[in-house]
Amino acid sequence: MSKNTADRVIAIVADYKEKPEDEITSETTLDELEMDSLDAMNLIFELEEEFDIEVPDDKVTEMKTIGEMVEGIEKLIELKEKGETVELADTGSNASEG
């Protein structure tokens, strides 16, 4: 987990929830932050904007901690930098280059 990515995520979460950054760690759960599903979706929109990524909707519900968010974001950034499509969920279709 990159410290830079983690710090950025924590800063965004802290700002969104109006909490001090030092109260949020990678182990902090969304439940501890009293985030409902609408809060989580809005937070994901902010993170997508910050990191210029798109988080698949089905993955949003799997993220339960700040650390899981950071790891997911890092994976999406890595895939984007490689020019790969995001295939975190099986959609049943395969696109091939050619």
Q: What is the CATH number of the domain that holds 14?
A: 1.10.1200.10
DSSP structural state of residue 22: G
The catalytically annotated residue of 36, 52, 58, 90 is 36
Q: Is 36 part of the annotated catalytic residue set?
A: yes
* pLDDT at 10 (0 to 100): 97
Domain range spanning residue 33?
3-81
In-domain check, residue 87: no
* pLDDT at 85 (0 to 100): 64
Give how far Cα 90 sits from Cα of 38, 55, 94, Å: 25, 14, 9
In-domain check, residue 89: no
* pLDDT at 92 (0 to 100): 39
The tally of domains found in the chain comes to 1
In-domain check, residue 69: yes
* pLDDT at 95 (0 to 100): 42
In-domain check, residue 98: no
* pLDDT at 3 (0 to 100): 75
Whether 69 contacts 77, CB under 8 Å = no
Positions of the chain with pLDDT lower than 70, given as ranges: 1-2, 85-98
* pLDDT at 9 (0 to 100): 96
Largest CA distance in the chain: 50
